[in-house]
Amino acid sequence: MKKYLFTPGPTPVPPEVLAAMGAPVVHHRSPDFRPVYERCLTRLREVCRTQSDVLLFTASGTGAFESAVVNLVTPGEPHLVVSAGSFGERWAAMTKAYGADVDQLQYAWGETPDADDVRARLAEREAKAVWVVQSETSTGVVADVQSIAAAVKEAGALVVVDAVSSLGAVPCETDAWGLDVVVSGSQKALMTPPGLGLAAVSDAAFERRGSTARFYFDWERTRKAQRALDAPFTPPVSLVAGLDVALGLLLEEGLEDVFERHVRLGRAARAGVKAMGFELFSPEEDRSAVVTAVRSTEAGEIIAALRDRFGITLAGGQGDLKGKIFRIGHIGWFDIFDITTALAAIEIVAAELGVEVERGVAVTAALEAYEHSTVA
Ligand code: PLP
């Protein structure tokens, strides 16, 4: 059966990227690898829109995030974690695990963090850093990181952004917005298999490193080695070769066009599910361009039926949302026909499961939302 991967990570990988990864393995300290490594690091800076070093780790996104925690947290120091879903809560748990004195600005899952709340919280209690998720993949909410970062800067704190599911899908202006650390992973909008984590680290963040013991994730060790194009540990050379090609594809399309495509895919997905009669869980707004979360008490059955009958993988809900929502990912190598395929199949299985869905309208609504929309 043909397989369709419509989850918010891992995401489908373009054939050019797979081909690059299938090339013979080269030695990481040889001239066969260095130009690829250098180009990949340069392209990462372009995609992160930063002049700072983007440190690459053989790890998933969580590992790259842990690099930020072990480099910035010294036990007992005050930190503020903003959470509104699964990943924000993970970062609260991780910063606490490393001994930070954590104040958690905790929203219900599905709510959108607000810059004024962050400002008010920092007025009550200072923090060395504020940890915030740009795209909370568990809910589909994309926060206004630009405004939140501005509030954090007013208070003189560092801002650390989880951009694991947003980098390369929605704007993330590392330097222009004053983001001190931006963390991401290879397996989402960067269109590469899982296995590479990255952290763009500003000089300000680098200078404020703490005293927690660290080795593999030590920023200084990786920064120094990367600057000499001499990775500190054996990098996954095939993944780096793939990521290099994937970043080239993103830059060739043009980041602004990539962002616009994601906005339009989000509009199309929302229009389609609403036309069928489903209720959205994720917000009805253009920023929500990463994943569309849909309420359904039959979510578990719909996901299972899609997989068994059509080879389609959607994501379910996490935590308390398990069994209550299904999520359609549309980040990375996605186009409108991925959305219409997902919608057409959802319509069939939902109707078979006895869900009251309006037939024959979702695909048309999605196509219209995609075609007849321009993004300012
Ligand atoms: N943060 C967000 C927003 C994510 O979507 C994910 C992965 O789903 C992570 C962090 C964790 O990344 P990883 O699974 O690569 O460790």
Q: What is the pLDDT of residues 172-184, one digit of tens each?
A: 999 999 999 999 9
331 lines ligand 1 (CB under 6 A): no
340 lines ligand 1 (CB under 6 A): no
Give the residue, out of 141, 165, 181, with the most ligand 1 atoms within 8 A of its beta carbon, to mutate for a pocket test.
165
Nearest to 310 by CA among 322, 302, 321, 299: 302
Q: What is the pLDDT of residue 372?
A: 76
Give the C-alpha separation, 294 to 113, whole Å: 20
Q: What is the pLDDT of residue 376?
A: 62
DSSP structural state of residue 280: E
Give me 13's structure tokens. 């990988």
292 lines ligand 1 (CB under 6 A): no
Residue with the two structure tokens 């998720």: 133
pTM of the model: 0.98
Helix (H, G, I), strand (E, B) or coil at 179: coil
Q: What is the pLDDT of residue 301?
A: 98
137 lines ligand 1 (CB under 6 A): yes
Give me 250's structure tokens. 């993103």
Q: What are the CA-CA distances from residue 319 to residues 93, 117, 296 (Å)?
A: 15, 25, 15
Give the residue, out of 66, 133, 137, with the most ligand 1 atoms within 8 A of its beta carbon, to mutate for a pocket test.
137
Residue with the two structure tokens 């994937």: 246
62 lines ligand 1 (CB under 6 A): yes
Q: What is the pLDDT of residues 262-274, one digit of tens each?
A: 999 999 999 999 9
For residue 233, how far is the Cα from the chain centroid? 25
Give the residue, out of 11, 109, 133, 164, with the most ligand 1 atoms within 8 A of its beta carbon, to mutate for a pocket test.
164
61 lines ligand 1 (CB under 6 A): yes
Dihedral of CA atoms 96, 102, 105, 110 in degrees, nearest 10, equals -10
DSSP string, 312-343: EE-EE--GGGTTTEEEEE--SS--HHHHHHHH
E-strand ranges in 168-234 read 181-185, 196-201
Which residue's alpha carbon is nearest to atom 6 within ligand 1? 164
Give the C-alpha separation, 260 to 281, whole Å: 22
Give me 55's structure tokens. 């440190």
C-beta of residue 329 within 8 angstroms of C-beta of residue 11? yes
Give me 269's structure tokens. 């997905």
User: Please, where are the H alpha helices in the chain?
Assistant: 15-21, 34-48, 61-72, 86-97, 115-124, 145-154, 203-207, 219-227, 237-253, 255-276, 299-310, 336-352, 362-371
Q: What is the pLDDT of residue 375?
A: 67
Helices 237-253 and 255-276 pack at an angle, to 10 degrees, of 90
User: 308 C-alpha vs ligand 1 centroid, how far in Å?
Assistant: 26
C-beta of residue 312 within 8 angstroms of C-beta of residue 344? no
DSSP structural state of residue 290: S
pLDDT in tens, the chain (376 residues): 999 999 999 999 999 999 999 999 999 999 999 999 999 999 999 999 999 999 999 999 999 999 999 999 999 999 999 999 999 999 999 999 999 999 999 999 999 999 999 999 999 999 999 999 999 999 999 999 999 999 999 999 999 999 999 999 999 999 999 999 999 999 999 999 999 999 999 999 999 999 999 999 999 999 999 999 999 999 999 999 999 999 999 999 999 999 999 999 999 999 999 999 999 999 999 999 999 999 999 999 999 999 999 999 999 999 999 999 999 999 999 999 999 999 999 999 999 999 999 999 999 999 999 987 666 6
Give me 274's structure tokens. 């609403």
User: Could you tell me the domains of the chain?
Assistant: 15-252 (3.40.640.10), 254-371 (3.90.1150.10)
Q: Is the dihedral of CA 156, 160, 163, 168 positive or negative?
A: positive
